[in-house]
Amino acid sequence: MDTAYLLDNLKRHFHLDPASARLLIVGLGATGYSIAQFLLTTPIKFAVIDSRRTPPQIDSLREQMPDVPVFCGGFDQSAFEVATHLLISPGISLNEKAIRKAVATGVVVLSDIDLFACATDKPVIAITGSNGKSTVTTLMGDMANAAGVKTAIGGNLGTPALDLLQQDAELYVLELSSFQLERTSALNARAATVLNLSPDHLDRHADMADYAQQKQRIFRGDGAMILNADDTMVMAMRESERHCLTFSVKGDADFHLRHGDDDHLMQGDQALVSASELQLEGSHNLANALAALALGHAVGLDMNAMCRALKRYKGLPHRMQRVADVEGVRWVNDSKATNIGACIAALEGYRRKVILIAGGDAKGADMVELKPIVATKAKAVILLGKDAHLIAQAIADSVPTHFADNMKQAVRIAANLAEAGDSVLLSPACASLDQYKSYADRGNQFAEAVMELT
């Protein structure tokens, strides 16, 4: 890393002078720890604070950075009062009282993504959206590497952005959440996309307008904008003076789907690859593939190499993942569908009605939005988790509804309802932490219960 380059950018963007700056890292999870490791290689002084008594990375921090001040067990206002800059982890709300008070006195907020942007001049592809971020990010990484470009992927997915700098890549692909974007201002991606927008994280964002506004921050700068022509809220972000590419599975766009006996992914009039050649399941994954092709095209990747990688790509665990076929019934794990939009997208990809397993923590979302798609695409719904009855009220009488106490019971109920030719889809439309360690834990328990049927 070129430290002089970093410090010059930090001074220009954030008025950060290492001689006088006092940075406070707020939150000591994976992101906070990656920030601390990064700052340790610079002359910038910093401290760490976490509201938890024993944050996840506290032992590693104290062992490797014994001279770094650490405050645990609450947000001590005195620590904020001496700070000139706050580096706030995505999991911590900007509405915390201590943070709001510090910002009101002129303390500058930045993020790990800002540090990353100030540290490298390599091109960045930035990806956000309510659904499909991880799929497009990993697919984009495969495409770029297939095109002979050394690529590193991370951000909200897997490796923290700052840790990627150790890979000395030629191209970086970042998945970014609304929480990361709301505190990021220095990123100028070579190409960026908002894949789609649907209600999510409304327990942290004031409303959909606020949520969309935070997502739109990914387009700061002058890079190419990749827009979903099928999403009116995304298309409203278009800037007339910027280079824009569109994608669509419903109509005309720069990258679109040509419908027929065998659908084809198209760039203008040129057929790129047929849908039947892909290993991805569901129409929403065709949209993800088109978005990735548009992003790659915007940064100059070889189209033939990208199409070869697309044909090989099998998707992500817990995202429309085929678990098993048992007595003619297909079982599909979409546990990563932690919001309404992801569940809707999964259901829209089916031509036959499915048995849906859903439920968990709705995160304040209005589940009434599920009713039309459930009525159209579901043969029956099995609900479990904290907000099961809330969902049942929202979809009232649109489809036969059953309740389960746990995943094993939900799978047994589904097995009794299913007939040969049916699909059983776990697509919860909710977060998992009411009953499980993570969405992955939820998906694994689903898969284990399904395998017991065999």
CATH number of the domain residue 28 falls in: 3.40.50.720
Residues 135 and 153: beta-carbon distance below 8 Å:
no
> Does residue 120 share a domain with residue 103?
no
Domain span at residue 70 reads 3-110
Mean pLDDT in residue range 215-242: 96
What are the CA-CA distances from residue 175 to residues 131, 179, 194, 327 (Å)? 11, 12, 11, 38
Write down the residue that tokens 């036959």 correspond to. 352
353 as an active site residue: the answer is: no
CATH number assigned to the domain comprising residue 408: 3.90.190.20
- Summarize pLDDT for 16-52 with one digit per residue, the tens: 999 999 999 999 999 999 999 999 999 999 999 999 9
> Does residue 175 share a domain with residue 38?
no
Look over the chain and give the mean of its residue pLDDT values, rounded to a whole number: 94
| Residue positions counted in the chain | 454
89, two tokens? 């982890």
Residues 48 and 62: beta-carbon distance below 8 Å:
no
The confidence band for 211, taking pLDDT boundaries of 50, 70 and 90, is confident
Is the pLDDT at 206 greater than 80? The verdict is no
> Does residue 139 share a domain with residue 14?
no
Q: Which of 110, 142, 160 is the C-terminal boundary of a domain?
A: 110
> Does residue 63 share a domain with residue 187?
no
- Collapse the DSSP code of 424 into the 3-class scheme (helix H, G, I; strand E, B; otherwise coil) and give the result: strand
Overall number of domains in the chain: 3
Amino acid residing at 233: M
Q: Which of 85, 145, 201, 285 is catalytic?
A: 201
Q: What is the DSSP letter of 75?
A: -
The confidence band for 207, taking pLDDT boundaries of 50, 70 and 90, is confident
284 as an active site residue: the answer is: no
- Summarize pLDDT for 163-205 with one digit per residue, the tens: 999 998 999 999 999 899 999 999 999 999 999 988 655 555 5
Amino acid residing at 311: K
Alpha helices of 127-194 — where are they, by DSSP H? 133-146, 161-164, 178-181
% of the chain beyond a pLDDT of 70: 98
- Summarize pLDDT for 75-116 with one digit per residue, the tens: 999 999 999 999 999 989 898 999 999 999 999 999 999 999
Q: Which of 89, 110, 131 is the C-terminal boundary of a domain?
A: 110
> Does residue 165 share a domain with residue 247?
yes
> Does residue 297 share a domain with residue 183?
yes
- Summarize pLDDT for 260-314 with one digit per residue, the tens: 888 999 999 999 999 989 988 778 889 999 999 999 999 999 999 999 999 999 8
Q: Which of 9, 156, 288, 333 is catalytic?
A: 156
Q: Which of 9, 85, 131, 133 is catalytic?
A: 133
156 as an active site residue: the answer is: yes
- Summarize pLDDT for 240-259 with one digit per residue, the tens: 999 999 999 999 999 999 98
- Collapse the DSSP code of 356 into the 3-class scheme (helix H, G, I; strand E, B; otherwise coil) and give the result: strand
> Does residue 92 share a domain with residue 52?
yes
- Exposure string of 195-214, with b = 16+ CB inside 10 Å and e = fewer, is bbbbbbbbebbeeeeebbbb
> Does residue 271 share a domain with residue 222?
yes
> Does residue 230 share a domain with residue 130?
yes
CATH number assigned to the domain comprising residue 236: 3.40.1190.10
Contacts of 278 (CB under 8 A, 6+ apart): 285, 286, 289, 310, 311, 313
Centroid of chain to Cα 91:
13
Is the pLDDT at 70 greater than 90? The verdict is yes
> Does residue 431 share a domain with residue 327?
yes
> Does residue 124 share a domain with residue 85?
no
Q: Which of 248, 277, 312 is the C-terminal boundary of a domain?
A: 312
> Does residue 285 share a domain with residue 308?
yes
Residue 198, pLDDT score: 81
